[in-house]
């Protein structure tokens, strides 16, 4: 076979000196017929044309919607760009000539016939009559105009394989053709080598076994080189469409032919279509890798910016595939679908690699939002510019199993960590802005004390929930559940820090105001979180339990502080000093009034709860002083004491009524006791026991003995009759009041052992008076 670097002749148009040359490999399939036509110029035109057509290859001579033009090549085999300026001469066509010089007119007729034969892609030429010579420059201009006007179409599925050379080129020559991207001619020579190999294998000559093995090795190496070159061209075809588009047509034909010959010896064992798909995928991988990615330290929004650029790159590349690249392949290649699937797979792998670099929640959100919302939207795979080709294509990313769930779980974990830090910061801010500077609590419009932290927490939870809802409804619920679980730990943490930082201000009024503030605040926090009870009932119930506990402890501290404040004054009630000095009661009254004013800033129902419990405590402690027998009125002082008890108890009743105490049943106790204590005639006491027992069925004989002792009655017949009357009334009483006042009220001295004896048994113990 002739060396492709052998003698050449330049066919010039209009007598101009052409400088460009076209390598023979571009029309290598016609070389033999052209040589015969040139070497025998005296043969008939029809015979020359028939010979050319029979050995011709189907690639078209003019560019059109279904026939991309073959690129012109220089001496090195590289692509030479064709100019579309009709004012310039057409690029000269270089043909390998035989040892004799053909006439110009003969070559033009042959070229014309070849052009006509190639315009019908994939079909045989019916009319073999030679066409009249045409001006090459005019034909080039005409083809350029047609190319600009017509809409591109894919090449035909069917094709006619050009005639194989009788003797293939050498291994080095074929390798050189592959390197110079003269793939069609290189492939024809490879097929010729395979044919020789098959014949030699069929001959089964022992002397040729070594030669057969060497040829198999050569074929394998050359086919590997060819596949690598095709891989390179396909991989870069989208990135450099102007350079590679003209080479994709022979690439497609090579793949088609090799798939047909897959069972024949001498070729590569694996699929050429799969190798082509791998090359497409490699090109997509290069495209994705080329998208700019900044370092996290350089840009806080590094991931969001990168994903935005990645989306734009995907759309631009698929637009290029849709408009240009796919027309270089037969329909069965499904080029657009292959690129779409490759992007699904490559982008999925790329996102997996990005996930390892993501540590902040905002970046996790950007990644999830891009996967769940943006990738399938009209910004990327649903772009209008990709329609209608995407109508029947899947828009789902090809992600690793459980990758999306792992990403969601990571998002939830980061949300929990950030929520924990946020709650810790809230406590820190409360200390810096309130506790450390002893700032007085601020009043809301309704006059209630309240800290800003309930609204801060609610705003954070609501905002994060809405953000999560943009990604996935189920993710929103998981985030809310996580926040509520973390919130369950917050009340106790807050209380511990509050007590640690504010223990020094106890028992100042500010300490009480802080307690009222945080009772209200946790009530507001609970009310805000109750809105999630339907979606997260267990977590909300858990939070309610914790809030109730911390409010209970704050209430207990508030009450304990008040009790501690008033205990010294209550202990001095119903004593000798008390009878003549009102200072202690005034202090008790002042403390109670202060608490009443402070409780105006406490939200219901805790205002009434505090007032009710403290009302019960004050009354019980006040009356309890009568039971200690620390003082006994004599010389008719009991009347003055009774009046004072009545007055003071009425004053306390008015205070706790203003505080909305629910302990109305305590109101009569002062009047009932003062009536008994203030009677002039002790015999009348028997007639005033009934109201006391009706109001307080737990009033017992020991309590009556203590009251009588305070009155100054320590024994005697009438004393015993009073006790007997009490016993009779209690037996007849049917009152089942659940409230307890005297039942757990201690009595200092138990006199039941004497008072229960008949009076006749005690007469001898009484002095003679």
Separation of alpha carbons 376 and 383, rounded Å = 9
What is the reported pLDDT for 712? 85
**DSSP letter string, 358-421:** --SHHHHHHHHHIIIIITTSTTTTT-GGGTTTTTTS-----PPTTHHHHHHHHHHHHHHHHHHH
**Helix (H, G, I), strand (E, B), or coil: what is residue 10?**
strand
| Residue 379, preceding peptide bond in cis (omega within 30° of 0) | no
Q: How many C-beta neighbours within 10 Å does residue 435 have?
A: 19
| pLDDT-flagged residues of the chain (< 70) | 1-154, 205-208, 242-245, 735, 749-769
What is the reported pLDDT for 205? 63
Separation of alpha carbons 256 and 157, rounded Å = 9
Report residue 235 as tokens: 């991989």
Q: Give, in order, the Cα–Cα distances in Å from 599 to each of 45, 602, 669.
A: 119, 5, 25
Q: Give, in order, the Cα–Cα distances in Å from 618 to each of 73, 611, 648, 655, 669.
A: 111, 10, 12, 11, 12
Q: Give, in order, the Cα–Cα distances in Å from 132 to each of 44, 61, 115.
A: 14, 16, 12
* Cβ burial, residue 506 (10 Å; 0-12/13-18/19+): middle
What is the reported pLDDT for 658? 92
Report residue 70 as tokens: 């073959």
CB 80 within 8 A of CB 72: yes
Q: How many C-beta neighbours within 10 Å does residue 396 have?
A: 11
What is the reported pLDDT for 41? 37
Which of 30, 46, 48 has the alpha carbon at shortest distance from 96?
30
What is the reported pLDDT for 140? 36
What is the reported pLDDT for 602? 93
């Amino acid at each position: 076979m002739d060396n492709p670097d052998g003698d050449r002749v330049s066919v010039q148009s209009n007598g101009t000196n052409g400088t460009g040359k076209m390598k023979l490999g571009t029309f290598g399939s016609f070389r033999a017929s052209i040589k015969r036509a040139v070497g025998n110029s005296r043969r008939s035109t029809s015979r020359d044309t028939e010979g050319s057509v029979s050995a011709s290859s189907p690639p078209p001579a003019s560019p059109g919607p279904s026939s991309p033009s073959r690129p012109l090549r220089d001496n090195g085999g590289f692509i030479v760009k064709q100019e579309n300026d009709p004012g310039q001469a057409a690029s000269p066509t270089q043909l390998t000539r035989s040892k004799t010089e053909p006439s110009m007119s003969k070559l033009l007729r042959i070229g014309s016939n070849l052009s006509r034969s190639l315009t019908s892609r994939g079909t045989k030429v019916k009319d073999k009559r030679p066409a009249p010579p045409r001006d090459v420059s005019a034909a080039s201009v005409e083809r350029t105009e047609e190319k600009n006007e017509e809409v591109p179409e894919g090449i035909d599925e069917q094709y006619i394989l050009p005639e194989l050379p009788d003797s293939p080129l050498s291994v080095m020559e074929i390798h050189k053709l592959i390197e110079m991207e003269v793939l069609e001619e290189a492939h024809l020579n490879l097929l010729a080598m395979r044919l020789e190999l098959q014949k030699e294998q069929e001959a089964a000559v022992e002397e040729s076994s070594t030669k057969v093995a060497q040829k198999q090795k050569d074929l394998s190496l050359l086919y590997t080189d060819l596949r690598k070159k095709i891989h390179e061209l396909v991989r870069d075809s989208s990135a450099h469409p102007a350079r590679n588009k003209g080479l994709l047509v022979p690439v497609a034909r090579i793949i088609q032919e090799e798939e047909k010959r897959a069972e024949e010896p001498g070729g590569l064992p694996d699929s050429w279509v799969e190798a082509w798909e791998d090359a497409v995928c490699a090109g997509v991988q290069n495209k994705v890798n080329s998208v700019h990615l900044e370092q996290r330290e350089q840009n806080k929004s590094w991931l969001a910016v990168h994903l935005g650029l990645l989306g734009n790159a995907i759309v631009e590349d698929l637009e290029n595939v849709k408009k240009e690249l796919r027309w270089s392949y037969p329909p069965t290649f499904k080029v657009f679908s292959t690129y779409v699937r490759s992007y699904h797979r490559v982008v999925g792998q790329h996102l997996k690699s990005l996930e390892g670099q993501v540590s902040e929640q905002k970046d996790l959100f950007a990644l999830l939002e891009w996967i769940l919302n943006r990738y399938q939207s009209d910004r990327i795979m649903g772009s209008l510019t990709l329609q209608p080709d995407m109508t029947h294509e899947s828009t789902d990313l090809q992600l690793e199993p459980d990758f999306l769930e792992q990403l969601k779980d990571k998002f939830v974990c980061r949300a929990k960590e950030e929520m924990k830090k946020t709650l810790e910061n809230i406590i820190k801010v409360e200390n810096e802005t309130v506790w450390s500077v002893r700032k007085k609590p601020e009043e809301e419009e309704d006059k209630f004390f309240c800290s800003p932290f309930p609204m801060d927490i609610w705003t954070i939870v609501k905002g994060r929930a809405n953000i999560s809802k943009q990604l996935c409804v189920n993710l929103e619920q998981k985030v809310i559940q996580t926040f509520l679980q973390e919130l369950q730990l917050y009340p106790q943490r807050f209380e511990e820090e509050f007590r640690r930082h504010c223990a020094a201000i106890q028992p100042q009024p500010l300490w009480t105001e802080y307690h009222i503030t945080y009772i209200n605040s946790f009530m507001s926090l609970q009310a805000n979180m109750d809105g999630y009870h339907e979606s997260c009932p267990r977590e909300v119930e858990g939070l309610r339990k914790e809030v109730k506990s911390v409010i209970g402890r704050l209430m207990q501290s508030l009450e304990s502080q008040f009790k501690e404040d008033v205990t010294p004054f209550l202990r001095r009630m119903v004593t000798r000093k008390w009878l003549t000095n009102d200072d202690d009661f005034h202090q008790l009254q002042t403390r109670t009034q202060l608490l009443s004013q402070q409780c105006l800033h406490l939200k219901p129902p805790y205002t009434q709860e505090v007032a009710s419990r403290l009302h019960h405590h004050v009354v019980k402690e006040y009356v309890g002083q009568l039971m200690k027998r620390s003082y006994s009125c004599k010389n008719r002082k009991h009347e003055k004491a009774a009046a004072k008890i009545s007055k003071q108890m009425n004053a306390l009743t008015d205070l706790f009524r203003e505080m909305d105490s629910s302990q109305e049943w305590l109101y009569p106790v002062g009047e009932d006791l003062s009536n008994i204590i203030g009677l002039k005639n002790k015999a009348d006491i028997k007639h005033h026991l009934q109201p006391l027992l009706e109001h307080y069925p737990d009033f017992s004989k020991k309590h009556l003995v203590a009251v009588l002792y305070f009155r100054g009655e320590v024994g005697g017949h009438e004393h015993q009759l009073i006790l007997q009357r009490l016993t009779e009334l209690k037996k007849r009483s049917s009152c089942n009041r659940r409230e307890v006042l005297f039942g757990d009220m201690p009595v200092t001295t138990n006199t039941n052992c004497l008072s229960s004896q008949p009076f006749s048994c005690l007469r001898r113990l009484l002095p003679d008076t």
